[in-house]
Structure 1
Amino acid sequence: MKMFALNKKINFKSTFIRLLLSYIMLTSAILFVTTLAIYSGYKRQIIENSISSSQKILEQASYYTNYTLNWAKLFSYQLYLNQDIYNLMYLNKNENTTEIANPKIMQLTSSIPSIYSIYIYNNNNGKIYTSVSGEQKVDSFYDHEIIDILKNSSETFSSNLIPRRINLSSEYNSNYKKNILSIFLSNSKNPKNNLPDGAIILNLDADEVEKYFKTISENGCDLFAIDNKGNIVLHSSSGMFLKNISQSDYLKKILENKNDNGNFLCDIDGKPCVITYTALERMGLKFITITPYNTFLGSINKMIHLIIVIFITIFIIGAACSYLISMRIYSPIDRIVKQVKSKALINNELQNYSKSNEFDFLSIAIDNILNEKLSLKKLSIEDTNFIKKQLLKSILLNTVVNFKDIKTKFEELNINISENGNIAIVFKIDRIKHFYSRFSNRDRQLVRFGICNICSDISSKYYSNECLNINGNLIALILSTSKEPSQEDLDLIINIVAEIQNYVLSYFNVSLSSGIGSYAYSLSQISSSYKLAADCVNYRLKYGINSILYYDKINADINNDYFYDEDLESSLFNAVKLGNIKNIETELDKMLNKISTYSYSNILLSISQLALHSKKLVDTLYKVNNETRDLK
């Protein structure tokens, strides 16, 4: 019942209610799209920042790993140059071990924490000298895996770190296992046993190396390096060494991807995560970070609450502004409706529309007035001018359904154009933003009214005419001419237009561009003439402001075969990359001269394409130089 009473009280067909609801819906839509864009942009920015941070961490990890390998190689080579170490490598069976050599190895390992152990292999006597357990026979050596590596490897100097786990249970009565990263330096192999005559094996403590990964990795995130088989070589968490993860979906995606760097979203154990990776090809390693998505949620939730508060606040302000704007727009409509009701004859048809939409009411009332000659006498000059402008506007915009008795209506409304033979001219205010900034709303209306008066006064010396304001920056002038204009007539019209432009510029300091339409043989063709004039005036983009444009002038310069010249664009962008201002100006002139030969729609298409490609180029240059930018 309450809803029914509300419907009776509020007329939802009213123009005011429709305006109010339209503005509220528009405000809501804009707010919704804006807040959604802000949320999406913030969320994307958070993820991009995380990815950027992860990429920097990966760069540090790969640099450190590469540095560790190079340091290990250099250290191994220094050992090789040590005379005591060299003697251990090549002792014959009958020679005794020096008393200095083995303690020398012990001293080296104890002074550098990242070195777990050093092996010196001697093929002549079949022994290995270690910093862990001293001198041992090869056959009984606890780390027999290294012997297999020396035998099967084709390298004489390791190109990569070799991840291994050695079991010390045979040496110590325990099941102690140690994670190490090995490299070796050896000479040519002996054909008898396919082992080198001598070798230096350096075993790095993998746990010590992994400490750096733990230091630089972020809380809750995993940082690790894997080999090409999917084995973990280094990890920020303990207990992951040599674990094979090649069956993981995200790792399959990384291994299948040919790119050395990348990032993507993936579910791991049912939890969404951001995966970032990079490759160190020379070491055969890929470095990966896994950042759980929930690490972003705290910041995102705070942003959602802030957005909701802002949304509600702006919506309330927008609703209030919508009411004020609707009232301001509706006031003149309401005034005209009241005047028509007070002066026009209200028949049954008008009575039915009087309580619905005001425009429907005015449309029926105006139609009745136009069809009843005597009814115009009851209307004020303001109402008559309103009807006159509406009729002319309907003719220009081709919304007149029936041209029957149009001559009578022209006489009643004192319209100074003929039924046969007219030309439409469109004037467009240049620098419209500057125009709006210079004049208040009332002053702008006065300026437009003054422009119409100037157009009519100057044109009336030669032609009967009507002038009216179409919208904020378009003014239409209709010239009545008895015949299709010759070149002499066209020159006269151009002179009239130029005189109008000069007067307007002199009196109001407002520049006008103009377009001249085609000859309209009947009233129904005036809309085509108007449309052509409006299309012509758009070409001020090419010819400049305060121009006078018509079809023959524009068509002579148009190249209908549209082709976006990528060679000119490439020359321009090369000049930009080189930073040569003179060449940039030259190439840009060539590009714009080429674009200016196309039709208006193709000009806009070319400029849009050039702007889009230019932004991509600038973004790339800033990214290469690691600089910030403010380009929109």
Structure 2
Amino acid sequence: MMFLTRIRHYRVYRRLVLSYLLLSVITVTLVSTILYMMFSARAVAEIDRSSKQVLGHVSYAANVVHEQVENITGQLLSDNEVISFLYAKEDNKMVNYTASLFLARIQSVYPFIKNLGIYNLTTGAYIDSLGLQPDQSMVKKEEGSSIGFFPRRVESVSGKNSYRLLTFKIIPERSFTEAPKSAIVVDVDESYIRNTMGNISASAKNSLTFVMDASGTVLSHSIANHFMENISSQDYVRRILADSGSQGSFVQNIDGRKDLVSYVKSADLNWYFVSVRPYAEMISNIYELRNWTIAVVILLLFAAVGASLLFTGNIYNPIKSLLEKVSSGSTKGQPALLKFDEYELLTDAFTQSIEHAKSMETSLNRSSRVLKDSYLSHLLQGNANKLVVSADMKREWEGRFTGPYITVILFKIDSYRKFKERNNAFDRGLIRFAISNIANEVLSRSYTADAANMEEDEITIIIQSDIERIDDGLCLIIGEIQDAVRSYYKLSLSASIGDSCSALSEINDSYKSAQNYMRSRLFLGHGCIVNEALMIHPEEPADRYPSSVEKRLIDAVKMCRQDTITTEISEYRSYLSRCSYVHAIQYTNFLVLSIIKEFEYITEWWSVDAEQLYRTTDDLREVETLDDIENMIAGLCFAIVNNLEEHKKNTTVFKNAKIVEEIHQFVQEQFAEHGLSLEAAAHKVGFSSGYVGKLFKSMTGTTFNDYVTHIRMERAKVLLATTTLPIAQIGEEVGVYNVPYFTTLFKKKYGMTPSQYRERAVKE
């Protein structure tokens, strides 16, 4: 049962088995189906051919009958007794008798003849060999030729027997001007044709055979009741009649059953001999063949299963051996390869091996690069002896610096604080690495260059040249690097070129000089390129702290004079431009601390966040240019001014609101006084009437007089609705003694007179 275990556990083995098995099943099934279908079609065609052949024989027999009818007619017309009967002027019993004997003698010779009859149309005499009654309707039939044909049913003279006859009517002497004088009738028994046709369907159940004429009328049928029935409305009959060929066959569903229809047309009689055979019964032996075919297919499928397992085992064994070697360690202690994809496991194993090798190679390269960068970093800082590396590595790295002159170029990212806020640590590392590559690549066109990773905001490149003094071409190359970084990363770089040295042990001095020259960025601004020649050296250095500028700036902040603040800061910047780097930073630190100390009280009195003030001391550590210093001090001063103005504004609003509230209270108490005025209210609050009027309007949005009128009219509404006092007395109650004026004020405000308002209030 090893193959069952493999099928359950090994996915690739299972796929191989299924592939072989599927291929075998498809092949066996396809070949068996094609052979079965070909044999079935060939068998049906053979049966159809046999049916047509038999029908052709029957058709030939019918043509022979037709020829015999013509021969019989010739014999009758050559006999004197028959001629005497046909053309007799009077009825003669003797002639009739002798003619009847001749008819009987002729009929005995031809067994398919059921009856022979002759008519004398002049005398009306009729004799026949069977003793049938004369058919007057038949005598009256007009035929298009000398021999006519039609089926008919007749009965014997006794009425005991009924016959189905295929009648041939012959007019011996046909004339288009005179009526016929005689007629010969040859009756063929319909059963003769039916028995002949029955030989076709004897070997098949439920088969039908019949003969029909060109109009679709049945002349003979395996089912006798269909005699003389017109079946031209049947689809398959119409298809037969529409065919101009002499024979044919087709398969069609008739009454819900699939049948094979074969037919042959008689050229002499214009009859159609038709066979309708059930398709299923016709090929019943084919179904038996199909069963045997299925049995053989099943046996072949079992053989295919065995062959599939055999072929799969032969192909799979090498894979299994390789897989056991690869997975011997990883699958220890668990079912071997349970439901594992072998190819996937092999792929993973080889991929892991390749990745492990690549990882080791990458790690070695990275470690070597890190060690190299670390060594260069320590070398630039002057403590290379503290880094423990092999002597071979030292010789390899130091062997690159052959000189004769070595120079350190220092790049710094401008506005590094914003750069740090916009990018995470990983992105910053990638950008610094990219800038280092760009600088190294551009400088390598003219110099031997090596990059060294230093501080986070620094990119350091060590170049080697043949001349001690760096020419202006280096500044152009550095400018190209700055333009490339600005184009690719939208970043500004400042660069400083250290002093050249002739020995690797002196490279620390070149690095320190580059750092010292970079301080000039404070005065030159972002994007500068500095070396010893371009370094800022003030002609008149300012060595004293600008106390006067500090005092004027603090006074301007106290008085919230923003223009003066801007002017003083600009003057302070101008003063710093004449200082050294160290003094500029120190003086700025002193100024910031003085401003914070002077206005620290606002953090306690007005709940101002102290972080707003002390954050500036942190920002001071990250200033890069005089612009940064100017913006930092301006931001601090304007933040303090905003807080001072906000406090003053809040105090003024509070005082004004208190004054307006006192005026409101005064009007509420004195609205009934006739002498209530703005002057009285101003006197109440202790300010001039002009100031109070403007203040009241600005705070409430309405004038003092309009407010007094509003209070009086509202009180009048209450009195009109709740009392029966006269209008004049109500006007006096609210401080308006002139009745017409009171009415005018009320109507202007509410759109109706006091009387109208009272009436409406009473109704409501």
TM-score by structure 2 length?
Answer: 0.41
Structure with more strand by fraction:
1
Larger radius of gyration: 2
